[in-house]
Amino acid sequence: METRSVVSYTAIIQGCNTNGRAELALEYYSALRADKTIQADACTYTCVLVACGSVMAIKLGREIHQLAKHKGLLKNDPVLGSSLVSFYGKCGDVDSAQEAFDECRARDNTGLWNSLIQAYTLQGRSIEALERFYSMTQEEGCKADDVSFVSVLNACSHGGLVGKGRLLLDEMPKQYGVKPRLEHYVCLIDMLGR
């Protein structure tokens, strides 16, 4: 690469992620860090956290969390916040996922909430995933989307909450204005088959 910049490094890191090459993405991040003339930005950290979650690079992910926090990037960047919450969820650290969520101020961002709900779901904490869903929709007034319902229906499925899952599926179009799609019915089939 002739001209190196934070944009070119970030694009390569994202390309590696897209093609299932998380280890290579982290190598490019190491090269970026070694180049003292280039500073990573929120977009870079977002992409690196995706790679960290793919290979369970918890130490590097925590380091990026601290860097982002120190630079004040988490306060106003819900995409970075969502990536951080997802990273911790994939690594099995729901408490850190919740802490990262709490550090973000963009509580009106559905993607950020979806990441938190998914983190609880991935770790089998179905009741807490449902509690976060209701906090999102009722207390914070954030609009649920189709991804929200995939996460919460998976939580119901894995938690044996068949009645609650069926009720949520029924309420989707009526109460939340979200038309059920194929993936929601797949969750229902999984729920009924357990």
Q: pTM value?
A: 0.91
124 shares its domain with 142:
yes
100 shares its domain with 5:
yes
pLDDT at 122: 94
62 shares its domain with 120:
no
**Average pLDDT of the residues in 92-103:** 96
pLDDT at 18: 97
Query: What tokens were used for 135?
Result: 């906090």
Question: Mean pLDDT across the chain, nearest whole number?
Answer: 95
Percent of all residues in the chain with a pLDDT value above 90, rounded to a whole number = 89
Contact 17/51 with Cβ under 8 angstroms?
Answer: yes
84 shares its domain with 134:
no
**Average pLDDT of the residues in 24-36:** 95
Diameter over CA atoms, the chain: 59
CA 126 to chain centre: 16
pLDDT at 1: 58
Residue 72 CB burial class (10 angstroms; 0-12, 13-18, ≥19): exposed
**Average pLDDT of the residues in 37-62:** 97
Give the structural domain span for 7.
1-106
